[in-house]
Structures are given as structure tokens and as C-alpha cells.
Structure 1
């Protein structure tokens, strides 16, 4: 039975609950992974989503910052969550679907403004977080798994609007790209979005600082859907819902979708 999964950095689920509702009503993914929810779990606005058939929720939250959640029409079995880099942040949640596929939802630290850990602690935390993700993949080789989320790195040249100009900008620096590649290699993860859309500029984030984000189109692909090799071949129909970036009071990210034909 096919199922469709979407991932979206919502940038406050309570503030943007109407946008989540719109997405669920209009596009109806079976599973929706949210990042940067910015709320304790007990204040998550789950009732509005339950009314649309999303009766299952697994989340990690904290007041005003970070936060990840998995909303699902399908039952979820909670799995172990990890505090990579020992930050004490709500940045990972995992759950298994009835078909045995485990979904890992991540919100990797953004890394601040300066790509130098000697002067920017947040950049060091980002690199350490990715290193711990790599080590986790090595120690517990993932299988029948999907990894999604705001990984806060645009790895390819065509994942950013200008490769040369962004080489020294956090999210596209070579050291970050290398760290993300180490995570991907350690888990054998397949970039599902790029499997389906192998060439061409592709973005999921546009800065709030741009008054004409659509016209300027200075985007980056920070949001990802990966799968282990044993199920990656079952993935198809990847897309980024760019139009959602233009909704009223939008997140600066757009949802990323993929469909999996897995029994």
C-alpha cells in the first residue's frame, strides 16, 4: 500500500496551525513531519489535526525553540530519540509505521552566521551534531528507514541559487557539505528527492529578508527526504510545494513530498 510523506519546517506550529491544516486538507499526506515547532508537546495543537484524520502524534518539544513532530493517519510506534552533541535540544523524533518502516525526523542546528567554530559556538555545535549522526549510523546501520527533516545544509551546487557566492555562507560551506556526506555514506542513505529530480536548481527555503522571494528566487534546498537502499527504489513522485512559501504568514520553508510503494 503506497503512502505519501511530507516534511516541513513550520517555524512555530501554534502560530501556523492554519497552514498545517491547509496542507493536510489540500494535499493529504499520510505522514507529515514538522520541524521548529517551538512548543512543548502538551501545547501542540493536535486537536485541529485529529479532526482531519491525523490521530497519531509523536513529538519532542520545548518552549519557544526547536521541536519536532510526526503527524500520521497511520498508527505510530515510538522509537528511541537521540540528543546528538548533548545539546539538550528537541531535534529528533522517530516512529515506526505499521509496515515496519521507521521514520526519523531531524532538525539539525542552523549553525549561526560565521562558518568558524573558533568564533561561533553554534557552528561547532552543528558540526558536532552531524558527527554524532554519522557515528549513530555506523553503530546501528539503518534498514527499512526514512530520514527526513530540515538538515540545514544545501549539499549540491544546484541546491543553491549561486554556488560560488555561497561557499563561505553557513549551509553551503565545504566543511558542512562534507559532514553531511559522511552521515549519508555511513547510513547508505539515498537522497530520494534527487533520485526523482536528478538535475536542475531545486530549493525548499527562501529568506524572509527578501521582499520578493519568488522573483529573486535566491533559494536553498535545506529540507531533505532520504531512505535506506532496501526501500529507496520504492520511492517516487518527489516534489517541493513551492506555492506554500507564498501563503499568508508563511514559513520560510516549503514542504517536501515523496511517495513510497511499500507493503
Structure 2
């Protein structure tokens, strides 16, 4: 079975319902994972999604912030929803597709502005969240699984617009990169995006603060598609839909796609 999957931090699914529908109409991924939905589950606007064939959804929601959802054309059942670091946040949901592949959708905490857990509680929460993810993957080794989402870390030097300038900026600090690497290793995850696009600058997020985000191009690759090593070789055709960042009333993230033949 071949299926295409996309991940997208939508920054309010209700506010940006029109561009979600536009993406589904134009690109028609079989599975779409959304983060930062900022909506209780019962208020997610599913009618339009269902009309386009996305009849299956698993989600966790909160009013005004966080929230994750997986929309699917393929039959899917909820398989897990974890509260890492005991934050009480809707940041993880997993669904298993009819071919037995489990899709994990994550929204890792952003971590605030100061990369010091003693001065910034949010940074500590981010590191604790990643530690809990790592420990969970060590205890329950995932197989036949895909992990996607806004992990809020750009790990490689070419995942940011300027490596040296961002070394002390949250999302690219060495301690965050180390925590993410440990999480990846714990689950034997392969970075499918970088397997397909191994070289060169690659971003999925551009700040709203830039007057002309496209010209400035000060991006970061915060959104990821991973797969367990047993199925990673089946992933291909990875791409970031950069143009979506320029759509009307956009999210500050662009969708990341990959196709799997499993």
C-alpha cells in the first residue's frame, strides 16, 4: 500500500480552516497531521474535511492552545495519547492505519525565549518532555511506526539560516539538539526528510516578525517526519511546501510531506 502523509503546524485549525481545505484539495495527502490546533476536539471543523474524504480523525484538543489531530482517508483507530512530562497539555496523539502502521503526531513545547531551565520554566518543560519521550521509546520500542510533528528543534547546522548566530537561540541550542538525538536513537527513528534531502539548507518555519519572510529567508526546520528503521527505506518523495507559507492568513509553518510504500 502506498500512502502520502503530511505534517503541518496550523496555528489554529478553526482560524485557518480555509487553507487546510485548500491543501487537502490541491495536494490530497492520505493522512494529514496537524499541530497547535488551538481547539477542543468537538469544535474542530470536521464537516469540510469529511466532504473531501477525510472520514477518520483522532485528536486531543484544548481551548486556545496546543492540540493535535490526525485526519485520514485510510481507516484509522486511535492507539495512544501520552501526557509526557505530566504537563496536562494536548501534545501527542497516535493512530494506527489499516495496514498496521502507527502514526505518532507530536507538538513538542517551544521552550520559551531563554535557554536556561533555572531562569525559564518553559525551557525545563521542553527538556523534560523530550526526556520522557526518550524513556517511553526505550521502554516500548516502536516498530512499523512513523513519527511526525512540530518538534520545535532544528537539529542540523543546515536546518537553520545561520548556525553560529542561533547556537544560543531556543530551538537550536546544543542541549536541545542532544535531547532530540537521544529521543531519536531511543526509538531507532530515521529522519526520512533528511534521508531524501541529505544536503543543503531546508526550512519549514519562518517567523511572522519578518516583514518579508520569503526575501529574508531566515528559516528553521522545526517540523519533522521520522520512521522506525524497519520501514524507513519505504519512505520517499519528501518535500516542504514552502509556497504555503505565503498563502492568505498563513501559519508560520509550511507542511512537510513524505510518501511510504508499505
TM, length-normalised to structure 2: 1.00
Correspondences of 1:1-263 after superposition (within 5 Å): 1-262=1-262
Query: What SS does the aligned partner of 1:147 have?
Result: strand
Query: What SS does the aligned partner of 2:231 have?
Result: helix
Q: Deviations over 1:67-113 (max 9, x none)?
A: 00000001111112100000000000000000000000000000000
What's the RMSD between the two structures over aligned residues?
Answer: 0.3
In the alignment, the residues of structure 2 paired with residue 77 and residue 139 of structure 1 have an alpha-carbon distance, to the nearest angstrom, of 23
**Offset of 1:179 from its aligned partner?**
0.1
Q: Deviations over 1:213-252 (max 9, x none)?
A: 0000000000000000110000000000000000000000
Structure 2 residue ranges without an equivalent (≥5): none
Query: What SS does the aligned partner of 1:79 have?
Result: strand
In the alignment, the residues of structure 1 paired with residue 260 and residue 41 of structure 2 have an alpha-carbon distance, to the nearest angstrom, of 28
Structure 1 residue ranges without an equivalent (≥5): none
In the alignment, the residues of structure 2 paired with residue 55 and residue 80 of structure 1 have an alpha-carbon distance, to the nearest angstrom, of 19
**Offset of 1:116 from its aligned partner?**
0.2
Query: What SS does the aligned partner of 1:22 have?
Result: helix
Structure 1 outlier segments of 4+, above 6 Å: none
**Offset of 1:118 from its aligned partner?**
0.3
In the alignment, the residues of structure 2 paired with residue 227 and residue 186 of structure 1 have an alpha-carbon distance, to the nearest angstrom, of 12
In the alignment, the residues of structure 1 paired with residue 251 and residue 84 of structure 2 have an alpha-carbon distance, to the nearest angstrom, of 25
Q: Deviations over 1:39-80 (max 9, x none)?
A: 000000000100000000100000001000000001111112
**Offset of 1:169 from its aligned partner?**
0.1
In the alignment, the residues of structure 2 paired with residue 229 and residue 111 of structure 1 have an alpha-carbon distance, to the nearest angstrom, of 29
In the alignment, the residues of structure 2 paired with residue 83 and residue 75 of structure 1 have an alpha-carbon distance, to the nearest angstrom, of 25
Q: Deviations over 1:3-22 (max 9, x none)?
A: 00000000000000000000
In the alignment, the residues of structure 2 paired with residue 235 and residue 57 of structure 1 have an alpha-carbon distance, to the nearest angstrom, of 23
